[in-house]
Amino acid sequence: MDIFVVGLNHKTSPVEIREKLAIQPEEIETYFPNLLGAKVRELAALSTCNRVEFYFWGEEDGVDEIVSFVCELKGVSSDELKKYLYVYKGEEAVVHVFRVASSLDSMVLGEPQIVGQFKDAFELSQKANLTGPFINQLMSKALSTSKKVRTRTGIGESAVSVSYAAVELAEKIFGELNKCVCALIGAGEMAELAARHLKDAGIKKLLVVNRTFERAVELAKELGAYPMSFDEFDDALLESDIVITSTASQSFILDKPKMEKIMKKRKHRPIFLIDIAVPRDIDPQVDEVENVYLYNIDDLEAVVEENRRRREKEAVKAEAIVREEAKKFVSWLKTQEVVPLIVALRERAEAIRQAELKKTLSKLNLSDKELKAIEAMSSSIVNKLLHPVLSYVKKNSVSGDTKRIAPIIKEMFSLEDKDEDKDRNQRK
């Protein structure tokens, strides 16, 4: 028995394959319990837009069972699917799971969404009664490792998207955004995304200005904003602290002379202009006006690239944390292999102790105090005799030597596997 990972992600498969294999919550609850058996003892499934993965505790043959099951469920050829799959076992599997939860295997390094997706997948697998002690421990440790990575490194800090970089710059200029007004000029995708980030950051008020007023109304409704016609562009500039432009104009919609007039009316109150349009909406000379901070898409890309490099440096620290935590988990896993042996050894010793006590005490007339003293003494003797044996077993389990020592211990203490007893009784 061991921990296995079987799956595919954005690095190994195209989006059309990931779409075909996307697992729905109702499928996990309805169909996946049928997978559990001798080869797949415990299971958790993670399905996002960038990956479909299965983590299981069982035998190596369980990989083929999962692949066959998913192919039948999704109507995909196993030959086609196997071209995109990766399989990990043991410590390699644990490292992979911890890396996924820590966003080290994500398309965007350090992105925070995976933590919530991972947690939801764990809860759903538990709800479907797919998990057990080993997968529960694996998933719990993966989440605690992810938390450790985020608190001890800067992997999740600094924007690595143009839209979020715009918000980060705005916060540097204005500090708290809850007193700021933002105007969205045009309805480009990146500008809209930046506006959504600003809303999440607590922007006080959002204006939507568009040449097609109906589109301004539609987008304003989505964003909880105020629609304005393009004729009100100057009014938006007067009121706003932050302006994001993303129009399809082939010429500048804002030049230096116009901005100077606006700034006089604003009494030179600072304004942050983010031009994400290509071709540009705002004349670069506007940046020469006092208290005007102008950034275009190239400026933001430069910020993003610098932040990406920072995250990559932090990822080195994160990888070290993941490796360390994975080794701890694998050590724990190895000790679990000898738990049945330790339990059987203790039960054997306790049975002998109780039998001998019964024979001896039946011949004596002792007080309750004397009985308790003999009981305590016999337990102490057994524990002291077992201690070096159990320490030896645990020590060798960590080094992976369980298969060698288990038969020796069983023979020395006349222990039998419960599974063997079960098989023998069934044959009778």
Q: Residue 188 has which token pair?
A: 């480009």
Is residue 316 in some structural domain?
A: no
According to the model, what pLDDT value does residue 204 have?
Answer: 93
Confidence of residue 295 (pLDDT cuts 50, 70, 90): very high
Residue entry with tokens 């499928």:
27
* Statement: residue 54 has pLDDT above 80: yes
Beta bridge partners of 242: 182, 272
Q: What burial class does residue 72 get, using C-beta atoms within 10 Å of its C-beta: 0-12 exposed, 13-18 middle, 19+ buried?
A: exposed
According to the model, what pLDDT value does residue 117 have?
Answer: 94
Residue 292 shares a structural domain with residue 372: no
Average confidence score pLDDT of the chain: 88
Is residue 312 in some structural domain?
A: no
Residue 292 shares a structural domain with residue 254: yes
Is residue 329 in some structural domain?
A: no
* Statement: residue 418 has pLDDT above 80: no
Please name the amino acid found at residue 40.
Answer: V
CA 179 to chain centre: 34
The larger pLDDT score, comparing residue 378 to residue 427, is at: 378
The fraction of the chain above a pLDDT of 90, given in percent, is 57
What's the mean pLDDT in 136-159?
92
Q: How many residues does the chain have?
A: 428
Is residue 216 in some structural domain?
A: yes
Alpha-carbon distance 292 to 351, whole Å? 85
What's the mean pLDDT in 307-321?
93
Helix axes of 91-101 and 297-337: crossing angle, nearest 10 degrees: 140
DSSP string, 149-194: HHHHS-TT-S--SHHHHHHHHHHHHHS--TT-EEEEES--HHHHHH
- Cβ–Cβ under 8 Å, residues 343 and 155: no
Alpha-carbon distance 8 to 51, whole Å? 6
What's the mean pLDDT in 44-49?
94
Q: Three-class SS string for 337-381?
A: HCHHHHHHHHHHHHHHHHHHHHHHHCCCCCCHHHHHHHHHHHHHH
Domain boundary among 125, 141, 157: 157
According to the model, what pLDDT value does residue 428 have?
Answer: 40
According to the model, what pLDDT value does residue 399 have?
Answer: 61
* Statement: residue 403 has pLDDT above 80: no
Of the listed ranges 48-57, 104-113, 239-248, the one predicted with least confidence: 104-113
Residue 195 shares a structural domain with residue 148: no
The larger pLDDT score, comparing residue 98 to residue 158, is at: 98
Of the listed ranges 137-146, 215-224, 289-298, 385-394, the one predicted with least confidence: 385-394
- What does the angle CA 45 – CA 51 – CA 55 come to, to the nearest 5 degrees? 30
Q: Residue 305 has which token pair?
A: 């690239």
What's the mean pLDDT in 134-161?
91
Most confident option among 15-19, 198-202, 390-394: 15-19
Of the listed ranges 17-26, 284-293, 345-354, the one predicted with least confidence: 345-354
According to the model, what pLDDT value does residue 38 have?
Answer: 92
* Statement: residue 102 has pLDDT above 50: yes
The closest of 362, 282, 53, 301 to 164, measured between CA atoms, is 301
Residue 168 shares a structural domain with residue 250: yes
Alpha-carbon distance 395 to 334, whole Å? 10
Beta bridge partners of 42: 57
According to the model, what pLDDT value does residue 164 have?
Answer: 81
What's the mean pLDDT in 9-33?
93
Alpha-carbon distance 251 to 269, whole Å? 26
Of the listed ranges 43-47, 223-227, 249-253, 422-426, the one predicted with least confidence: 422-426
Is residue 325 in some structural domain?
A: no
* Statement: residue 192 has pLDDT above 50: yes
* Statement: residue 423 has pLDDT above 60: no
Residue 126 shares a structural domain with residue 179: no
Confidence of residue 14 (pLDDT cuts 50, 70, 90): very high
CATH number of the domain enclosing 284 = 3.40.50.720
Please name the amino acid found at residue 377.
Answer: M
Predicted confidence (pLDDT) per residue in 203-241, tens digit? 999 999 999 999 889 989 988 999 999 999 999 999 999
Beta bridge partners of 208: 184, 227
According to the model, what pLDDT value does residue 91 have?
Answer: 94
- Cβ–Cβ under 8 Å, residues 41 and 54: no
Predicted confidence (pLDDT) per residue in 333-344, tens digit? 887 766 677 777
Residue 10 shares a structural domain with residue 136: yes
Q: In which domain, by residue range, is 396 found?
A: 338-427
Q: What is the total count of domains within the chain?
A: 3
According to the model, what pLDDT value does residue 277 have?
Answer: 86
Residue 146 shares a structural domain with residue 7: yes
Residue 133 shares a structural domain with residue 278: no
* Statement: residue 427 has pLDDT above 60: no
Residue 151 shares a structural domain with residue 179: no
Residue 187 shares a structural domain with residue 289: yes
- Cβ–Cβ under 8 Å, residues 263 and 290: yes
- Catalytic positions are 49
What's the mean pLDDT in 183-193?
82
Predicted confidence (pLDDT) per residue in 62-97, tens digit? 999 999 999 999 999 999 899 999 999 999 999 999
Most confident option among 130-139, 196-205, 303-312: 130-139
